[in-house]
A and B are shown apart, each in its own frame.
Chain A
């Protein structure tokens, strides 16, 4: 009788990619519930469509290209949820399907599937929708519903988001309602409005060591300082728009963020500055999506120049690429 032979190590940690994705999904649940609470049945349908479309596109692509099905690792579902979080509840129901196609097929699968994509799939889906359907994406945000009694209302009352107001009129202390922004009683995308729920989810991920503190802290810290220095209200900026969602859940996406500690600090700081620049000086009121996408592109470079110090190697000889 011969026995199984494999190279060492013969034991493995219990953590798997699937478990990590499920933890992130779990951390997003509070924000998801709050989004549905504020935006009613439309939000629910958009979330379900987006998740289903992402999972289906991934399965379909892997069937067609004869690859092993990996939808069980939940990363497609996570992409779907994040994409829906980035859509306004007033968006037409076909829109998440288009976004899911761009996110899963173009941004992720065509580059080799999970871990191989160089830009965040959900954000590239959103960026595409933003460019292709600007009116639906950028100006018609639904007003939060007044409690559960209007849950099944399909009609939406659109309103401007606090960020649009700020972009147009500058920061007006009289109109800043910190409590409502924190809780999510403002116009905005489905998943980004409730800052409190997102912070709770982010802290959960930090405690569970799914993400490290480096990216969220530098992201929020640097953009706070930038907005403070360049004359706006940083605290109000923090809790409005996609800032919290971006810092905890989008910028920390493993595949598109640096793997080194130093790299993560640079990446987070870069995101923070770009958000500040776009929000204060750019054409868009919101800058989180583009800031993260731009920094995604810099990740290979950041990784190359932030290699950790190797034990016993006193000075690392720079060698030109052959």
Chain B
């Protein structure tokens, strides 16, 4: 038995992972149902629609694309007629221009898909282009375009590619199911990623509550040609936020991402399990990203489980097709309970970054009232980054920007551990998040006006990486 790795701090919310043993069920949208495809599912500029209302689209057809480095295309996951193009609310809480398609139930596939390519014959740029064209983005939640992440600056040497299968959020079991049901695809997908970096080692990081998956992965790596030398499985302690990018890098490699830096500064690239699977599908089967495995759970759900959902399907259609609710839910959450977003309605589409749909009863979801901080220090010992959330909370409430930055508030990873553990039920992370976005906005405004007033020639100069560090 190898050592179980971990990071400093963190919390142990009740796992609630009853759906871990449920096989993934395929849910196909009903004929006549309308699917919505937001044209901005990743960080970066949104796509421009390539279809118009009235067009007939086929499965795998590009609905939108845009010639910008941070943009990845969006593909149709059903065939049918484009009904309209209008704004639609997404799980993130913002509305984006979306393409609405009525499913004709015929599943006509576009002729350009299902054309596998042999990655070993492709150049680095061609491989990245295949990944981009398949619409693959980081599916852990942030939605960072995969082809950008896999193309770090030349001077950064990548030593590790980590597949993040920690799945530390309560309720979520999609990674667990994918690890068990698509073990081989993960390993093959990771081999494709490793082919981009000659010296890199592959690490699949799994929490110790998924030992069945670990065993299966190790067997699979053993029998896959060329895998056993380069890919290893690392067992992590089940703890939240073990699956946070910075924390998983520390746990697996002992390295630290410098403040304000990205994983490649520590010689690492972290990808989600599902990203590896999507890469495998793009190369070995020639299929773009069109489906997502979603955990549906919570006490208000009649048939909790893991479902393979076509991207674009409405949550309302999803919950209806799996049997609906046991009672009127009190709260609906897209994503895990620690970082997911609450939704006030369900005609919101499943996107590339959706990982779960949770329907809580009032008993499960009601939050206690906020009280005075008693300075117990639990948030300080819990913070995986080493911040003092109680101080940042005060600085945020009193709008003390300088002190907030001095106390490294901008290094917060917004994992919510402090808010979870607080015995006074204070909204610590929420106030920190609000302050962070204020500071960024103020700094961007300041920098923009600086650029405008000081030097008219440098108009194009972009806002620096960490604008709040700019001195006035």
Name A's B-contacting residues (CB within 8 A).
1-13, 15-17, 19-20, 70, 73, 75, 112-116, 212, 254-261, 264, 303, 307-314, 316, 319, 322
Contacts and interface: CB of A to CB of B under 8 A. Distances in A.
Contacts of B138: none
A9 B419 contact: yes
9 contacts: A8-B335, A10-B367, A11-B420, A12-B422, A15-B421, A17-B372, A254-B375, A259-B375, A308-B383
Contacts of B337: 8-11
Interface in B338-381: 338-345, 358, 360, 365, 367-368, 371-377, 380-381
B97 to A, nearest CB: 23
Contacts of B386: 308-311
B387 A260 contact: no
Main SS at interface, chain A: loop
B410 to A, nearest CB: 10
B388 A116 contact: no
Interface in B150-173: 170
Contacts of A17: 371-372, 374, 423-424
Contact of A11 (B338, B341, B375, B433): B338
Interface residues of B, number: 67
Contact of B170 (A11, A116, A257, A303): A11
B375 A312 contact: no
B377 A260 contact: yes
Contact of B13 (A7, A13, A322): A13
Given A11-B420, A17-B423, A259 B377 contact: yes
A6 B380 CA distance: 23
Given A17-B424, A70-B371, A3 B339 contact: no
Q: Tell me which of A2, A309, A313, A319 has the highest count of chain B C-beta atoms within 10 A of its own C-beta.
A: A313
Contacts of B387: 308, 310
A217 to B, nearest CB: 16
A3 B343 contact: yes
Contacts of B374: 17, 20, 75, 114-115, 254-255
B284 interface: no
B258 interface: yes
Interface in B69-96: none
A307 B322 CA distance: 50
Main SS at interface, chain B: loop
Given A115-B372, A319-B406, A11 B259 contact: no
B381 A254 contact: no
B59 interface: no
B31 to A, nearest CB: 27
A3 B329 contact: yes
Given A3-B330, A3-B342, A319-B402, 19 more contacts: A3-B331, A8-B333, A10-B358, A11-B420, A13-B422, A15-B423, A20-B376, A114-B372, A115-B373, A116-B372, A254-B376, A260-B380, A303-B391, A308-B388, A310-B408, A312-B259, A312-B411, A313-B411, A314-B259
Contacts of B411: 310-313
Contacts of A256: 375
A308 B380 contact: yes
Nearest to B425: A12
